[in-house]
Structure 1
Amino acid sequence: MAPGDAVIRAARLAALLTAATVTVAVPASAHAATFCDRPAEINASEQDRQLQVVAAVRDELDRIGGAAVLVSRSGTDLSRFKIQYSHSGIALRDSRNGPWSVRQLYYACSESQARLFDQGLAGFLLSAGNTAPTRMSLVALPQNGGDRLAEAALDNRLALALLSPRYSANAYTFSTRYQNCNQWVAEMMAFAWTPHAAASSASASASASASASASASASESASPGAGTAIAAPTRAQAQHWLAALGYDPAPVVVPSHAIMFAAQFVPLIHTDDHPVDDLYAMRLRVSTPAALETFARRQWPRARRVEFCAVDRRIVVRRGWEPLGADCRPGEADEVIPLI
């Protein structure tokens, strides 16, 4: 296999390992271009289809209510890996960026570091580019769980304290060396849902607060939230709480050694944070949208999942934890919304 082919395959595998799309148009380097370029332009018909999905999702969010909802979307076609969602964020009813704006981590390529972004639902879905089918899922939390997650996510100082500027598409779940988009969400959940987490984080080091302050000055895209007096935790604390809460993502099986080889050439893929045994087994523990949804359900058994899938000339809406199949064929209990 030529080195160029290996890089291309690694880019695809990085998407498998939950690489986020980014909002910066100018890539930091030629190697990073695969990750950094905006998605391909979509035609007016496709854009209209995606906006109709967004309208259906917004209607559902308004019915659900609550302060925070876990949202996930499709992106790069990962069907060969039987993975349908690649990117998650926290939709916040009371975001100052607008109702149900999604707070999430993206890799800002022009700055060569990760940042937090607040993005409306339309931008959240449209940033995935042209996907077929188009998928979005929501996990609605009971009031206590949603309120606690919203309070944490809207606190800029706290949200930035759990942000690492060092991005890796395949970041290991229990290492602070790197971070990917879904890992930030997982750590926010851990802080919000761990009993007495706020009290136990009062002893967080002053360096964490200083880091959060520095990140805030460099992350103007994170809109001001409902600030609280909660002490800023460290990522190590958040991962300790994740483990204590039983967070255990199903391993992502890497189908070839290409990703290990190509990590030498692609700066957004790393293997030096993963346990050696996992590398040899080609089974990497990485935070994915599916892992986040499973975690949310475990913590809050009354959480509800709603899935939207636009295919052909219809949107299939499924309420329940049994996911739609690859072809999004509706079941008897599913709602079908004709696309206009």
Structure 2
Amino acid sequence: MKPLRALALGLLLAAGAAQASSSRFCDRTQELTAAEQDRLLRFAAVLREELASSEESVALVSRSGLDLSRFNIRYSHAALAWRSDDGLWAARQLYYACDEGRPRIYDQGLAGFAMGTDSPKIGYLSIVRLPPQAVLALRPALLDTSRALHLLAAQYSANAYAYGLRYQNCNQWLVEMLAAGWGDLADGDDLRERAQGWLREAGYAPQPVDVGSRWWLLASYFVPLVHLNDHPEQDRAALQLQVSLPTTVEDFVRARFPQSERVELCHDEQRIVIHRGWTPVADGCIPAGGDRVLSLRD
């Protein structure tokens, strides 16, 4: 096969594979076996117990959704968990509504949040417990429907530029919500712009994602939910994209509120591991000394 034809075929196959997986950005769920559903429901129960053990009513929660291991990224999706006056927890988040073709703000039960994973065989959850002063400033903004919607962009991009207004991903909406609450920003049509200004002044600086290959940049021309036209030219040339991810949000929260506490949960097909502290649990959900282990064989 001639080199140019081989190149064209390679791009076509890569684009087709990327489009086939693009629905994982959406609000659709995969079919689970009874055993997989039971495993994830038990995993969600541990998440619920950990949140309930805190006296505070808002926490940052993240999950391993899309498989981004090729970029050394464990967590792809973050939400703000909040407790109602009745003691029920929900995860408020941005999600992409496939049927409508637009992003939405959605309150989801913890079971549904835990089940939004690429692999039911192994999964990770991260909880960051916020100190009282952080919750006190954030909760009114989080539960203000008008401000939550004014922070919502009209167009979604999974790899949205962290300081762009054209697109937005789920983690970008979340960190802009933190800005609205902690900056005590008034409602208004320009709320996103003011939130990003506050974040810049507060030192929010996402660690650039090393794309590693121009083939991934080329794929953006074929995948509906991935874009590059909002990223600065120098970032594209360097293959370094500034994208808001759960880890960058966690780092920002920790720097602003050092009293915050982190708990990481993971499961495989045999056990659930509860790991406390800011160091990550080992890949493969391998427990370390001091970790709590719950059997899934019971």
TM-score by length of 2: 0.91
Match of 1:245 among 176, 192, 202: 202
Residue 181 of structure 1 is matched in structure 2 by 170
CA deviation vs aligned residue, 1:272-292 (integer Å, no higher than 9, x gap): 111110000001000001111
Rounded to whole Å, the distance in 2 between the matches of 1:290 and 1:315 is: 21
Residue 6 of structure 1 is matched in structure 2 by 14
Alignment CA distance shift 1:104-1:20 (3 Å) = farther
What secondary structure sits across from 2:53 in the alignment?
Answer: helix
2:36 and 2:120 in contact (8 A); partners too? no
Match of 1:22 among 23, 26, 41: 26
1:114-263 matches, within 5 Å, as 114-194=103-183, 197-198=184-185, 201=186, 204=188, 208=189, 234-263=191-220
Residue 290 of structure 1 is matched in structure 2 by 247
- Does residue 108 (structure 1) correspond to residue 97 (structure 2)? The answer is yes
Structure 1 residue 239, shift from structure 2 partner: 0.5
Rounded to whole Å, the distance in 2 between the matches of 1:178 and 1:21 is: 14
Residue 301 of structure 1 is matched in structure 2 by 258
Structure 1 residue 180, shift from structure 2 partner: 0.5
Letter matched to residue 195 of structure 2: A
User: How many matched pairs?
Assistant: 289
Rounded to whole Å, the distance in 2 between the matches of 1:331 and 1:135 is: 15
Give the aligned CA root-mean-square deviation in angstroms.
Answer: 2.0
Rounded to whole Å, the distance in 1 between the matches of 2:24 and 2:247 is: 15
Higher relative contact order (CA 8 A, sep 6+): 1
Structure 1 residue 9, shift from structure 2 partner: 5.6
Residue 283 of structure 2 is matched in structure 1 by 326
Rounded to whole Å, the distance in 1 between the matches of 2:36 and 2:233 is: 44
1:21 and 1:128 in contact (8 A); partners too? no
Rounded to whole Å, the distance in 1 between the matches of 2:63 and 2:24 is: 11
Where does structure 1 lack aligned partners over 5 or more consecutive residues? 24-37, 209-232
Residue 82 of structure 2 is matched in structure 1 by 92
What secondary structure sits across from 2:117 in the alignment?
Answer: coil
Residue 82 of structure 1 is matched in structure 2 by 72
2:127 and 2:262 in contact (8 A); partners too? yes
Q: Quote the sequence identity (%).
A: 44
Rounded to whole Å, the distance in 1 between the matches of 2:34 and 2:273 is: 21
Alignment CA distance shift 1:147-1:20 (3 Å) = farther
Range 263-272 or range 107-116, more displaced: 263-272
Letter matched to residue 169 of structure 1: A
Rounded to whole Å, the distance in 1 between the matches of 2:102 and 2:222 is: 18
Range 3-12 or range 107-116, more displaced: 3-12
Letter matched to residue 84 of structure 1: R
Structure 1 residue 318, shift from structure 2 partner: 0.6
Rounded to whole Å, the distance in 2 between the matches of 1:244 and 1:44 is: 49
Letter matched to residue 176 of structure 1: L
Residue 228 of structure 1 is matched in structure 2 by none
Rounded to whole Å, the distance in 2 between the matches of 1:255 and 1:310 is: 29
What secondary structure sits across from 1:139 in the alignment?
Answer: strand
